[in-house]
């Protein structure tokens, strides 16, 4: 392998790129690793592909290699340039979520909850949750990650300045979810609906807590990444797992 | 780690337990590995848990550790016996399916297609596929695996004899899917509906082919495991990937 990139904006590495994580990986692989930030992946990916057409290049991602559209796009570009792609699969929140005890085949469509702003409060995830709940399915909610977002100020001035990274907490997600359902007459779910909050899934210090939205609204889950499941109908074995993780 | 088990009936190890796979793993870990077959997992699991309460025991599975209900059940039993469980996540068909280029968040509920028999032809997966298709979502179909099934003859005679292992091919799955939709007036899908067939996903010799059900009905995908996606509405980037994998 001549070059190793790691993509660092659609997720975060649990042991921290900014701290010792990267050097740990570099020691393990015996290679230096180049961090591919949003700018590089979105604007300079053709340079990486040109390298890959002449030598072996690894492109590491956190989670599943096809978890983000941007990675599928990379594969398409490679195929068009007749650059051979070999994929090594990995665990992802899409299946590691099984840790909370709800069966993977009982989930409906996954939804993404974006940070609401003063002027942008999209409610489109509501309909998907409602459909899942109508047929008793669980809903995995992926919470917004904002890394390397150009600041509005910098956009106006035409030079690149970035907002500090922002990761949505379970608390903010529930706050937004409740705002949306109230606007709809709370027909799909309400503050008494059962949820499971998961923080740092797969890490040594992961936390899994089940309870009503109201219960979890102010629960401190600690550092990112967080995700949330809105629970559908429970099978007995799922019910037992929910009990183990019940909020104290 | 004092003892290492590998569960060998809810899936198959791609490099083959029966051949060199097991010894390759034993060499890698420097430990002998005990194959836990269906009988052991379903009937003697308490013995494993008793060992685990006194020493470190590893229980390996193929795919995600929570992919099968039987594994969640094992965790519940362990928790009840206050045996500490540490989970190491892994790729699973539930996310590796991303390899075909359809976005993971655009899948609806996953369905399982069981082998039809003369007397047992359950049509229950049809309704789920229909619901997914009504809202434009893809459907992952997991195909039946029958390993260590007691033969009917042996059940009658009261001694254990097993049927040879049986893995459903994409061809049989499509045949059954078409039988079911015809019985329903072909309202959810028909032989012209677009699918993706995947064989040996994640292996060196994996095959991914997209086409109509009719196209794939007689396509030879080779050895197991197979799985099938019934395609929903396509985004442009998904459409491009489907083209790459189009049946010749």
3-state secondary structure of A190: coil
Spell out the domains of chain B, with CATH numbers in brackets.
Answer: 3-80 (3.40.1010.10), 93-244 (3.30.950.10)
Summarize pLDDT for B109-136 with one digit per residue, the tens.
999 999 999 999 999 999 999 999 999 9
**Which of A197-201, B26-30, B242-246 shows the lowest mean pLDDT across its residues?**
B26-30
What is the rounded average pLDDT of the residues B225-229? 97
Q: What are the CA-CA distances from residue B47 to residues A41, A155, B5, B43, B196 (Å)?
A: 51, 64, 12, 9, 42
What confidence category does residue A44 fall into, taking pLDDT thresholds of 50, 70 and 90? confident
Q: What gap in Å lies between CA A159 and CA A176, rounded to an integer?
A: 32
Confidence of residue B82 (pLDDT cuts 50, 70, 90): very high
Tell whether the model's pLDDT for residue B19 goes beyond 60: no
Closest Cα to residue A199, out of A175, A224, A231? Answer: A224
B108 and A108 within 8 Å at the Cβ level: the answer is yes
- pLDDT for position A222: 97
φ and ψ at A209, to 5 degrees? -135, 130
Q: Mean of the pLDDT values across residues B22-31?
A: 87
pLDDT at residue A20, rounded to an integer: 66
Q: For an interface test with B, give the residue of A105, A128, A205, A243 to mutate (most B CBs within 10 A).
A: A105
Residues of chain A by 3-state class (helix, strand, coil), percent to 5: 40, 20, 40
Which of these ranges, A13-27, B68-82, B93-107, has the smallest mean pLDDT? A13-27
Tell me the per-residue pLDDT of A139-153, one tens digit each, with 9 for 90 and over. Answer: 999 999 988 777 777
Distance to chain B for A133, nearest Cα, Å:
12
- Name the minimum distance, in Å, from the CA of A135 to any CA of chain B: 10
Q: What ipTM describes this predicted complex? A: 0.89
Q: Which helix (H) or strand (E) holds B236?
A: helix B236-244
Least confident interval from A37-46, B74-83, B85-94: A37-46
Check if B67 contacts A (Cβ < 8 Å): yes
Encode pLDDT of B141-150 as tens digits: 999 998 777 7
Structure tokens at A14: 């649990």
């Amino acid at each position: 392998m001549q070059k190793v990139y790691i993509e660092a904006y659609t997720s975060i590495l649990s042991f921290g790129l900014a701290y010792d994580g990267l050097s740990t990986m570099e020691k393990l692989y015996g290679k230096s690793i180049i961090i591919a930030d949003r700018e590089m992946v979105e604007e300079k990916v053709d340079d990486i592909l040109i390298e890959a057409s002449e030598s072996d290049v690894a492109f590491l991602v956190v989670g599943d290699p096809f978890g983000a559209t941007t990675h599928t796009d990379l594969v398409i570009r490679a195929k068009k340039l007749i650059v051979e792609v070999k994929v090594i699969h990995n665990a992802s929140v899409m299946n590691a979520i099984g840790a909370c005890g709800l069966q993977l085949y009982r989930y409906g469509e996954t939804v993404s909850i974006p940070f609401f702003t003063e002027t942008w409060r999209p409610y489109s995830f509501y309909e998907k949750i409602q459909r899942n709940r109508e047929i008793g399915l669980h809903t995995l909610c992926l919470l917004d990650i904002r890394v390397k977002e150009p600041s509005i100020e910098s956009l106006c001035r035409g030079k690149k300045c970035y907002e500090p990274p922002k990761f949505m907490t379970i608390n903010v997600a529930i706050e937004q979810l409740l705002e949306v359902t109230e606007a709809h007459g709370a027909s799909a779910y309400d503050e008494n609906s059962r949820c499971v909050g998961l923080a740092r899934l797969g890490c040594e210090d992961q936390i899994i807590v089940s309870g009503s939205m109201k219960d979890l609204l102010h629960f401190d889950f600690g550092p990112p990444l967080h995700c949330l499941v809105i629970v559908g109908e429970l099978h007995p074995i799922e019910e037992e797992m929910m009990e183990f993780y019940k909020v104290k």
